[in-house]
Structure 1
Amino acid sequence: MRTVAVMNQKGGVGKTTTSMNLAHALVLAGGRVTLMDMDPQGQVSLGFGVLANGQGGMDRVLLDHGPIADARHQVSDRLYVVPAGPKLGNMELVHEGGSRRGVRLRQAIDEYDTRDEEFVLIDCPPSAGLLGMNALFAADEVLVPVSSDFLGLHGLSRMLQIFQHLEKVLERPVTKWVVLTRYNERRRLARQVREKILDYMPGRLLATPIRETVALAESPGMGQTIFDYEPHSRGAEDYHALADDLCHRRTC
C-alpha cells in the first residue's frame, strides 16, 4: 500500500481537483483507494456529496481516536472517502500530547485494515499546521500540484523548504512528486515553468501535465469527478495517464 499526501500551500493550483480525479482514475485502473479529506473546508467531501455521519469523519479519527473504518463512506466500487467532519479545524487547537499530536493520523492508518488497499490519498489543508504535519508524517510520498505560472513556482519553493525541515525531523528522505496543472503548452510561461521544475527537481515531475479545461473547472461544482462529468474529455484522458504515471513512477 502507498500513502500519498496531495499538498500545496498555494491555493488555486488544483489540489483538491487532483485528489478527487486521481483517486477515481486509480480505481478505474483497478485499484482500491481510500481518500481522506484533511482540509477543514471539506472540498473533497462536498465534491463527492459525502457528509460525516454519526461516527464523524477525520475530526473523529484525529480528535477522538475513532477508527477510520467507521468514518469512511463507499462512494463507488473500490473507492472510499473519509469526509473532513465539522470539527476538524479544532485539531489545530490541540495542545496536549506533545509531539504525539503530529502522528495521530499515522497511528490511525496503521490500525486501518489496508490489506486490500493499493492507495491511501490524503487531501491536505493549504497550511503547514498540525493537520498538515499529521498528513506529512503519515505519508510515504507527497504529490505537489503546481500551476503553470510564476506563482506556482513560488509555491513549490515554499513546499521544498517545508520538506527539507520535515526530512530533518523524520531523519529520512521524503519521496516527492510534482504534477503540472492548468497547463497550456502554447504559453511560453507554462513551458518555462516546466523547464524550471525539471532543473530544480530532476526525476520528480510526473510525465503527464494536466491541461487547462473548462470541464475540469466545472465538474466539482456538479458533485462529480471528470470521469462522471465528461469521461471522454482531455481532462479525463490526462488524469488516466497521471494515475498510470504514479503507479509506475513515470517521470519526465
Structure 2
Amino acid sequence: MRKIAILGLKGGIGKTTTCVNLGAALAQRGQRVLLIDTDTQANVSLALGIMDVKKSLADVLMRKVTAAECVLSARPNLDLIPSDLSLFKAQQRMVLEVAREEIFNELFSELTAYDYHILDCAPSASLMTINAVAYVDEVIIPVSMEMLALAGARQFLTYLRTISRLLGRGAAIRLIVPTFFDARRRVSAEVMTALKADFGDKVTHPIRVDTSLSEAPGKGKTIFEYAPRSRGAADYAQLADVVEQLPPLTRA
C-alpha cells in the first residue's frame, strides 16, 4: 500500500483539488483509494458532495470510534475519512498524548484493504501535519504559479527536514505539481523555470488553469464527473499516470 500526503505551507495552491482528482483518477483505474482529510475546513467532503457527516477524523482522534467505523464510500473504489470543525478540539488533545507524532500510525493501522492512502493536509506547521509526515512514505507538493507559492515550497523543504530529524526518518518528496498554470502569463514560465532549477525531474507537467476545476467542487463532483473532456480532467489523468509509474522507493 502506498501512503501519500498532499502538503504545502501555503493555502490556495490546489492541495484539495489535487487530492480529490488524483484519488478519483486512480479509483477509476481500479485502484482502491482512501482519502483522509486532515484539514478542519473539511473541503474534501464538500468537493465530493458529501454533506451529512456523522463521524469524522476528530472522533477517531478522540477515540470515540475506530478509523474503520469512520470510513465513508464516496465513489466506486474511492472511500473517505472526513474532517469537520471539531478537529480543532481533537488537535488540542493530541498534544497531551504519549508518542503524539505517531498517532496516525496507530489509528490507521487496520486500514489495509487499499492500494493508496492519500492525505489532504492543512497549510500549517501543526501536529496534524507532523503526524501526516510520520505516517506517509511519499509527499506531493502542489505549487501555484506565484512567487509566494514558490517561496512556500522552499520553506516547506526546510520544515520537512526539521520533522525528519525529529522523527529520525522522513517521507520522500516524490513530485512537485505546478498548479494554476497559464501559458499567457510570464510569471507561470518564471515559476516553472525556478521549480525545475530547484527540484529537477520531480517537477511534473503543469495543471493548467481551468474554470471547471473551480466549479466542480461547488457541484460536489470530481473533474471527471463535471467536465470529463476538460483540460483539468486531462491534466489530472496524466498526473495519475505519473504517480502509478513512479519507481518503488528505495530505503538506505
**Same-fold status (TM-score > 0.5):** yes
Q: Please name the residue that 1:7 is paired with.
A: 7
2:169 is aligned, of 172, 188, 196, to: 172
**1:93-108, aligned counterparts within 5 Å?**
93-94=92-93, 95-98=95-98, 100-108=99-107
Q: Please name the residue that 2:146 is paired with.
A: 149
Provide structure 2 residue ranges, at least 5 long, that are not aligned to the other structure: 248-252
Distance 1:210 1:85 in 2: 28
Does 2:195 match 1:160? no
32 and 222 in structure 1: CA distance in 2 versus 1, 3 angstrom threshold? same
Q: Please name the residue that 1:41 is paired with.
A: 41
**How many angstroms does 1:200 deviate by?**
1.2
Distance 1:246 1:170 in 2: 26
Distance 1:87 1:33 in 2: 25
**How many angstroms does 1:202 deviate by?**
2.2
Indicate the SS of the match to 1:202: helix
Residue pair 1:7, 1:123 contacting (<8 A) in 2 also = yes
**How many angstroms does 1:161 deviate by?**
1.2
Distance 2:86 2:102 in 1: 18
**How many angstroms does 1:52 deviate by?**
6.2
157 and 130 in structure 1: CA distance in 2 versus 1, 3 angstrom threshold? same
Corresponding pairs, count: 245
Residue pair 2:37, 2:121 contacting (<8 A) in 1 also = yes
65 and 201 in structure 1: CA distance in 2 versus 1, 3 angstrom threshold? farther
Distance 2:159 2:165 in 1: 10
Provide structure 1 residue ranges, at least 5 long, that are not aligned to the other structure: none
Does 2:163 match 1:198? no
Question: Amino acid of the residue matched to residue 159 of structure 1?
Answer: F
Distance 1:193 1:89 in 2: 34
Residue pair 1:51, 1:83 contacting (<8 A) in 2 also = no
Q: Which stretch shows the higher mean deviation, 88-97 or 173-182?
A: 88-97
Across the aligned residues of Structure 1 and Structure 2, the Cα RMSD in angstroms comes to: 1.6
Residue pair 1:52, 1:84 contacting (<8 A) in 2 also = no
TM-score by length of 2: 0.92
Q: Please name the residue that 2:250 is paired with.
A: none
Q: Please name the residue that 1:232 is paired with.
A: 229
Residue pair 1:51, 1:85 contacting (<8 A) in 2 also = no
**How many angstroms does 1:173 deviate by?**
4.1
Q: Please name the residue that 1:111 is paired with.
A: 110
Distance 1:31 1:239 in 2: 15
The Cα offsets for residues 142-190 of structure 1, whole Å up to 9 and x where unpaired, read as 1111001211101101211111102212333421121000012232221
Residue pair 1:20, 1:225 contacting (<8 A) in 2 also = yes
Taking only the aligned residue pairs, the percentage that are identical comes to 34
TM-score by length of 1: 0.92
